[in-house]
């Protein structure tokens, strides 16, 4: 059985993040900056979360299908185009 906070999918444990989507801010050069109101789009078969940081700087993060679906299921992000 998986531990609390993990999901078992196809014999792999996937960590469920409850804090939301984080990304690297190129402008401020800081890691793990939380996104404000992220939207996940599918472009060329890739799942891309776009949003802004607290200061209004645009950010993007690329993720896998399982992670994207988990964030949408938890309410951390909205579905964009391509779904």
- Looking at the predicted structure, is the pLDDT value of residue 61 above 60? yes
Q: What is the pLDDT of residue 18?
A: 47
Say what percent of the chain tops pLDDT 70: 77
Q: What is the pLDDT of residue 7?
A: 52
77 burial type by CB count under 10 A (0-12 exposed, 13-18 middle, 19+ buried): buried
- Looking at the predicted structure, is the pLDDT value of residue 78 above 90? yes
Q: What is the pLDDT of residue 10?
A: 54
**Predicted TM-score (pTM) of this structure:** 0.73
Average pLDDT over residues 63-73: 95
Per the model's pLDDT, the better-predicted residue between 20 and 4 turns out to be 20
Average pLDDT over residues 39-63: 95
């Amino acid at each position: 059985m998986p531990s609390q906070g993990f999901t078992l999918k196809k014999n792999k444990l996937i960590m469920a993040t409850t804090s939301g989507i984080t990304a690297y801010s190129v402008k401020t050069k800081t890691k793990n900056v939380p996104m404000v109101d992220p939207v996940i789009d599918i472009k060329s078969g890739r799942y891309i979360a776009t949003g802004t940081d607290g200061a209004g700087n645009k950010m993007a993060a690329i993720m896998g299908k399982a992670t994207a679906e988990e964030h949408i299921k938890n309410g951390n992000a909205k579905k964009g185009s391509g779904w």
